[in-house]
């Protein structure tokens, strides 16, 4: 029987990063993945393919809406070739997953294809697709089995017309009317892809605003911009039924007054969140507790109820984000090596890759108010920046929240061009417990979108932005 220091179950960003860090630290490591490709949700049906389609559809949007203004005349009709767009996306996915395989080989990590299930706390059975199996021995196990799309009890996903994000990433046609159930990150990103490609897109959200976990000002601005682009919103609407009739879907929702609206579309995308995935793991045989939300229960060291078994990523509490899973993967590997790693969950940034992009880190205004923290706020609109005007990306703003007395930055919230990248500056500043004035006194290259961060810091420090 093969024996390993560490066996990782699941090869998403949590699992594969953890396996690499374990190997770097000298552990004899194996990783088990039930699918033939490595990389998990993120690389195969999540972060990477969605960004590939966002980029392709963005080019189409620019070509049809902005090129003329830039002085670029294209002779003839500009058309979408969806088959090619999806094929390019798949090429990007293939490159990334083979990159992970290369990294496994480079780090001498044993890759086992099959479903991993516990026989007990130190033995994991790997069952291949053809039904054959082998059992391996593990001193330590890291559960990184991720998540799957959630649905509502009365919705039957048929994967053809009533679909999840997985199917929305490989459509054969541009929908005429895509009805999106859930105004969170995944629904909005995929909604914008098909909106740009010519679909009518309607979003139904149960709460009073889209991206409800983020600062309300971001939600307001994103709603404004997406409405301007043509997306329709039905907030404070509770979906009551989703029915398919041939190539049509009918979605019924009830508003706050108890009135029912009916949306007729040709596809309904159910994006109401994701649920932790532990099916087939036989966690109970190892003494690993799964909580009532279906997540693996862990302590502050990400250790499960079985002392040699840890769990990371979407399968445990906290934000369902690839970079959170990665940090946890490194954390567990270093813990196993006797180090004392640390993760500040308050400083895990959240990003929406629509255009304009939305990005945030730290506390929202709502959270600071709720906690009774005295804070000051400084905002700066991108339209006041030379860089934004040069590219005609003038939507959005940067908002910095700082402690009223100490000036320490408590939260940074931005919407605009390239904010997904700009947020890294805010994370760095907050990791080093910078004050708003610290940021405002650092030189930011001109002309860049990053100047918006400096200007917002000036506004937060002393209400003294230069260009406003
Ligand atoms: P996963 O990536 O879900 O990987 C788990 C792996 O475990 C899977 O490969 C699964 O097959 C395997 N597995 C499960 N059970 C077993 C078993 N018993 N035996 C063997 N293998 C098993 N996050 C971001 O940070 N940025 C984004 O831009 C972003 N975009 C997204 C877009 C979409 C459309 C979706 C759906 C998600 C997106 N996410 C994004 C979320 C991100 O994909 C997840 O947070 C991330 O993949 C979680 O990583 P993980 O390692 O915990 O699990």
3-state per-residue secondary structure call for 295-360:
CECCCCCCECCCCCEEECHHHCCCCCCHHHHHHHHHHHHHHHCCCCCCCCHHHCCEEECCCCEEEE
**Which residues, judged by CB distance below 6 Å to any ligand atom, belong to the binding site of ligand 1?**
9-15, 32-35, 40-42, 46-47, 50, 115-116, 144-147, 165, 186, 277, 280-281, 313-315, 320-323, 325, 353
Residue nearest to atom 26 of ligand 1 (CA): 47
Pocket test for ligand 1, best of 31, 40, 328 (most atoms within 8 A of CB): 40
Residue nearest to atom 29 of ligand 1 (CA): 47
Q: Which of 48, 38, 50 is nearest to 14 (CA)?
A: 38
3-state per-residue secondary structure call for the chain:
CCEEEEEEECCCHHHHHHHHHHHHCCCCEEEEECCCCCCHHHHHHCHHHHHHHHHHHHHHHHHHHCCCCCCCCCCCCCCCCHHHHHHHHHHHHHHHHHHHHHHHHHCCCEEEECEEEEEECCEEEEECCCCCEEEEEEEEEEECCCEEECCCCCCCCCCCCEECHHHHCCCCCCCCEEEEECCCHHHHHHHHHHHHCCCEEEEECCCCCCCCCCCHHHHHHHHHHHHHHCCEEECCCEEEEEEEECCEEEEEEECCCCCEEEEEECEEEECCCEEECCCCCCHHHHCCCECCCCCECCCCCCECCCCCEEECHHHCCCCCCHHHHHHHHHHHHHHHCCCCCCCCHHHCCEEECCCCEEEEEECCHHHHHHCCCCEEEEEEEHHHCHHHHHHCCCCCEEEEEEECCCCEEEEEEEEECCHHHHHHHHHHHHHCCCEHHHHHCCCCCCCCCCHHHHHHHHHHHHCCCCCC
Active site residues: 446
Q: What confidence score (pLDDT) does residue 153 get?
A: 95
Q: What confidence score (pLDDT) does residue 394 get?
A: 97
Count of alpha carbons within 13 Å of 249, Cβ hemisphere only? 26
At 134-191, the pLDDT tens digits run: 999 999 999 999 999 999 999 999 999 999 999 999 999 999 999 999 999 999 999 9
Mean pLDDT value across the chain:
97
Pocket test for ligand 1, best of 7, 8, 9, 10 (most atoms within 8 A of CB): 10
The CA 402 to ligand 1 mean position distance, Å, reads: 34
The CA 14 to ligand 1 mean position distance, Å, reads: 8
Q: Give CA 48 to chain center in angstroms.
A: 10
Q: Which atom of ligand 1 is nearest to the CA of 39?
A: 9
Q: Measured between alpha carbons, how far is 399 from 409 in angstroms, rounded to an integer?
A: 11
Q: What confidence score (pLDDT) does residue 330 get?
A: 98
Q: Measured between alpha carbons, how far is 411 from 346 in angstroms, rounded to an integer?
A: 9
Q: Which atom of ligand 1 is nearest to the CA of 15?
A: 51
At 336-377, the pLDDT tens digits run: 999 999 999 999 999 999 999 999 999 999 999 999 999 999
Q: Which atom of ligand 1 is nearest to the CA of 280?
A: 18
Residue nearest to atom 32 of ligand 1 (CA): 46
Q: Measured between alpha carbons, how far is 183 from 181 in angstroms, rounded to an integer?
A: 7
The CA 57 to ligand 1 mean position distance, Å, reads: 24
Model pTM above 0.80: yes
Q: Which atom of ligand 1 is nearest to the CA of 148?
A: 3
The CA 148 to ligand 1 mean position distance, Å, reads: 8
The CA 226 to ligand 1 mean position distance, Å, reads: 27
The CA 287 to ligand 1 mean position distance, Å, reads: 24
Residue nearest to atom 28 of ligand 1 (CA): 47
Pocket test for ligand 1, best of 14, 38, 41 (most atoms within 8 A of CB): 41
Q: What confidence score (pLDDT) does residue 381 get?
A: 98
The CA 152 to ligand 1 mean position distance, Å, reads: 20
Contacts of 376 (CB under 8 A, 6+ apart): 401, 402, 403, 404, 436, 460
Q: What confidence score (pLDDT) does residue 76 get?
A: 87
At 122-138, the pLDDT tens digits run: 999 999 999 999 999 99
Q: Which atom of ligand 1 is nearest to the CA of 312?
A: 52
Asked whether the beta carbons of 309 and 286 are under 8 A apart, the reply is yes
pLDDT at 75 exceeding the cut of 90 = no
Nearest 5°: phi and psi at 5? Answer: -70, -45
Pocket test for ligand 1, best of 12, 125, 302 (most atoms within 8 A of CB): 12
The model's confidence at residue 255, banded by pLDDT at 50, 70 and 90, is very high
At 455-464, the pLDDT tens digits run: 999 999 999 9
> What percent of the chain is modeled with pLDDT above 90?
98
At 24-56, the pLDDT tens digits run: 999 999 999 999 999 999 999 999 999 999 999
**What are residue 262's DSSP bridge partners?**
252
Q: What confidence score (pLDDT) does residue 17 get?
A: 98
Residue nearest to atom 52 of ligand 1 (CA): 313
Residue nearest to atom 45 of ligand 1 (CA): 321
Pocket test for ligand 1, best of 100, 146, 171 (most atoms within 8 A of CB): 146
Q: Which atom of ligand 1 is nearest to the CA of 32?
A: 20
The CA 461 to ligand 1 mean position distance, Å, reads: 40
Q: Which atom of ligand 1 is nearest to the CA of 147?
A: 3
Nearest 5°: phi and psi at 250? Answer: -120, 125
Q: Which tokens is 7 given?
A: 């066996």
The CA 315 to ligand 1 mean position distance, Å, reads: 9
């Amino acid at each position: 029987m093969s024996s390993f220091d560490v066996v990782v179950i699941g090869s998403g960003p949590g699992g594969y990063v953890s396996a690499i860090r374990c190997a770097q630290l000298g552990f004899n490591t194996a990783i088990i993945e039930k699918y033939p490709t490595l990389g998990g949700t993120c690389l195969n049906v999540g972060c990477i393919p969605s960004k590939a389609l966002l980029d392709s559809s963005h080019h189409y949007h620019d070509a049809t809406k902005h090129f003329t203004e830039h002085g670029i005349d294209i002779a003839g009709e500009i058309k979408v070739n969806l088959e090619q767009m999806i094929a390019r996306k798949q090429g990007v996915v293939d490159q990334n997953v083979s990159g992970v395989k290369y990294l496994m080989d480079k780090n001498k990590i044993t890759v086992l294809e099959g479903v991993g299930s516990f026989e007990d706390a130190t033995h994991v059975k790997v069952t291949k697709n053809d039904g054959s199996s082998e059992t391996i021995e593990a001193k330590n196990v890291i559960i990184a089995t991720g998540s799957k799309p959630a649905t509502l009890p009365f919705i039957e996903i048929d994967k053809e017309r009533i679909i999840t994000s997985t199917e929305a990433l490989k459509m054969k046609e541009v929908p005429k009317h895509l009805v999106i159930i859930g105004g969170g990150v995944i629904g909005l990103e995929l909604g914008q892809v098909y909106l740009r490609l010519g679909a009518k897109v309607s979003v139904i959200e149960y709460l009073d605003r889209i991206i409800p976990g983020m600062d309300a000002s971001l939600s307001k601005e994103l709603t404004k911009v997406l409405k301007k682009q043509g997306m329709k919103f039905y907030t404070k609407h509770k979906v009551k039924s989703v029915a398919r009739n041939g190539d049509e879907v009918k979605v019924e929702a009830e508003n706050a007054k108890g009135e029912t609206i009916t949306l007729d579309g040709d596809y309904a995308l159910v994006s109401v969140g994701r649920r932790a995935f532990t099916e087939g793991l036989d966690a109970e045989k190892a003494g690993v507790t799964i909580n009532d939300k279906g997540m693996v229960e862990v302590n502050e060291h990400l250790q499960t109820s079985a002392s040699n078994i840890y769990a990371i990523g979407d399968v445990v509490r906290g934000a369902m984000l690839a970079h959170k899973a990665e940090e946890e993967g490194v954390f567990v590997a270093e813990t196993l090596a006797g180090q004392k790693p640390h993760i500040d969950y308050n400083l895990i940034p959240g990003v929406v890759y629509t255009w304009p992009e939305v990005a945030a880190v730290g506390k929202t205004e709502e959270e600071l108010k709720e906690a009774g923290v005295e804070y000051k706020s400084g905002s700066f609109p991108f339209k006041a920046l030379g860089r934004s005007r040069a590219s005609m990306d003038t939507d959005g703003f940067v908002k910095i929240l700082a402690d009223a007395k100490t000036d320490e930055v408590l939260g940074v919230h931005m919407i605009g061009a390239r904010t997904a990248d700009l947020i890294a500056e805010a994370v760095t500043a907050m990791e080093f417990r910078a004050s708003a004035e610290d940021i405002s006194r650092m030189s930011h290259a001109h002309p860049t979108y990053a100047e918006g961060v400096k200007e917002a810091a000036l506004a937060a420090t002393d209400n003294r932005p230069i260009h406003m």
